[in-house]
Amino acid sequence: MLSDFVGGLPPQKRAPRRVVHVDLDYVYSDDPGQQERNLSVLLDRVKALGPNTVYLQAFADPDGDGVADALYFPNRHMPVRADLFSRVAWQLFTRADVEVFAWMPLLAFRLPADHPASRLTVQSDGAAPPPGTYARLSPFHPRARSVILDIYEDLARHAAFQGILFHDDATLTDAEDAAPWALDLYAGQWGLAGSVAAIRSDPALARQWARRKTAALIALTHEAMERARAFRLPLKSARNLYAGVALDPEAEAWFAQSLPAFVAAYDQTAIMAMPYLEGAADPGRWLETLVRRVKRRLGSLDKVVFELQATDWRARRPVDSAEIAGVMRQLQLGGALNFGYYPDDFVGNHPDLRAVKPALSLTADLD
C-alpha cells in the first residue's frame, strides 16, 4: 500500500533557514507617503533576496538602545508609535512568501513613568551594571510578569505572523536580579541564600542560581508563547543567544543563558555570530571556531541559526557585502545551513543584493 511505502521512507530534512532581520523603525515615517515608499522598497528587496524567514521588529526603538520605547501594535501598557507591524507582517507573508517572526523584547520595555509597574525593574548588586546593559522589567515580580504577558497576548490578538523571536535582552548577569522580591524568591522558593553576595561566595550556590535563572527566563518565554498561541496557531519560537555562551558553557553564570537549554526549548536558537561585536582579531577564524564548538556541543546544527552582522557598530561602518557573502559560503561549507544577517538596510541596498543573494537565497537565480 502507498501508506506503507510512505511510512518506510526516511524522514525528510527540513529546509535550511535563511533569515533577513529587519528594523521596522526604518519603515516607519511621520510622512505616510514616505512610509508607503519604504514598505514598497522592503517588499521588493525581500522578494529579490529570496530568504524564507524575516525576523521583523514589532517594537519601536528610535534611540537604538535595545529597549522598547513604544510598540507597533495596539496594546494595554505601552505607547503605540503606529499600528504598523500587522500590515507589514501580512504583506511580507503574502507577497514575499516568507515566514514572519515578531522580534520582541522579553524584559526590555520602558513603561510610561506613571505605569504601576514602571519601577519594577531588574536591579544589580553592588557596582553599577556595565555600560550598554538593557533597562529591563524584573522577571521575578508578579505585576511586571503580568504586564509582559499582556503585551504578548495583545501582539497576537492584533497581528498575524508565524513565530516569535525573543530579543537578546532576556539575560541576567551574575549580579542580577538583586531586587527585594527576587531575593525573597531565592531564599524562600529556591533554597538559596537571601543575598546575591552570599550566593556568589559559594560556587555551588552560584552555579545553581545561574541554572535557576536560565530556567526562569525560559519559563517566562514559554508563558508568553502560550498567551500568544491562544490567538495564533501554529506559532514557532526562536530566541537570540550570545556567542560567548555558545563558545563557553561557563558563561551561563554571566548571562543566564544556555545553548543546550535553548535548543531544547525553542524551534530556533539564533546565535549572534558577530565577530566585530565581539572584538575578534581574526573574524574568519572566530566564526570557524564558533561553528565547530556549537556542532561539537550539540551534535547537530539543525535548530541553530547563525545571525551575522551587516554593520560593524564599534567602528560605525557597514561590513563589506562581499565579506558577508563569503562568510555565508564559509558557513555552508562547514555544515551550517541556517543563517541570516542583521540589520538589513533595504533603502541603502546593504548588503548589496547581487553580492549576497547567491549565498542567501535557496533559489539563487539573478534575473
**Arithmetic mean of pLDDT, 86-93:** 98
Residue 255, classed as helix, strand or coil, is helix
Peptide bond into 130 cis (omega under 30): no
What integer pLDDT is reported at residue 367 of this predicted model?
43
Taking the C-alpha atoms of residue 121 and residue 26, their distance in angstroms, rounded to an integer, is 29
What integer pLDDT is reported at residue 10 of this predicted model?
45
**Arithmetic mean of pLDDT, 37-41:** 98
Residue 314 has pLDDT above 60, yes or no: yes
Considering the chain, what is the average pLDDT of its residues?
94
What integer pLDDT is reported at residue 295 of this predicted model?
96
| DSSP tag of 207 | H
For residue 223, name the pLDDT band (cuts at 50, 70, 90). very high
Q: Give the CA radius of gyration of the chain.
A: 21
Beta bridge partners of 80: 71
What integer pLDDT is reported at residue 133 of this predicted model?
85
DSSP string, 151-193: HHHHHHHH---SEEEE-TT----TTB---HHHHHHHHHTS---
Domains of the chain and CATH, by start: 15-360 (3.20.20.80)
150-193, pLDDT tens digit by residue? 999 999 999 999 999 999 999 999 999 999 999 999 999 999 99
CA atoms within 13 A on the CB side of 362: 16
Cell of 65: 538602545
What integer pLDDT is reported at residue 213 of this predicted model?
98
Residue 362 has pLDDT above 90, yes or no: no
What integer pLDDT is reported at residue 3 of this predicted model?
39
Taking the C-alpha atoms of residue 28 and residue 249, their distance in angstroms, rounded to an integer, is 39
320-333, pLDDT tens digit by residue? 999 999 999 999 99
What integer pLDDT is reported at residue 45 of this predicted model?
98
Cβ atoms within 10 Å, residue 352: 15
Comparing CA positions, the residue from 67, 19, 11, 29 lying closest to residue 331 is 19
Task: Yes or no: say if 150 and 76 are a contact pair by the CB < 8 Å rule.
Answer: yes
**Arithmetic mean of pLDDT, 97-108:** 98
Beta bridge partners of 165: 103, 238
For residue 245, name the pLDDT band (cuts at 50, 70, 90). very high
* Single pTM value for the model: 0.94
- Beta strand pairing call for 99-104 and 53-57: parallel
Cell of 84: 504598523
For residue 13, name the pLDDT band (cuts at 50, 70, 90). low
Taking the C-alpha atoms of residue 258 and residue 114, their distance in angstroms, rounded to an integer, is 35
Residue the block writes with cell 502507498: 2
Cell of 106: 522579553
Amino acid letter for position 197: A
For residue 14, name the pLDDT band (cuts at 50, 70, 90). confident
Taking the C-alpha atoms of residue 168 and residue 347, their distance in angstroms, rounded to an integer, is 25
What integer pLDDT is reported at residue 172 of this predicted model?
97
246-297, pLDDT tens digit by residue? 999 999 999 999 999 999 999 999 999 999 999 999 999 999 999 999 999 9
Tell me the CA end-to-end span of the chain in Å, nearest whole number. 44
Beta strands in 13-93 (DSSP E): 18-22, 53-57, 59-60, 70-71
3-state helix vs strand vs coil in the chain, percent to 5: 40, 15, 40
Cβ atoms within 10 Å, residue 26: 17
Would you say the C-alpha torsion 249, 171, 139, 130 has a positive or negative sign? positive
* Residue of 8 and 322 predicted with greater confidence: 322
**Arithmetic mean of pLDDT, 86-107:** 98
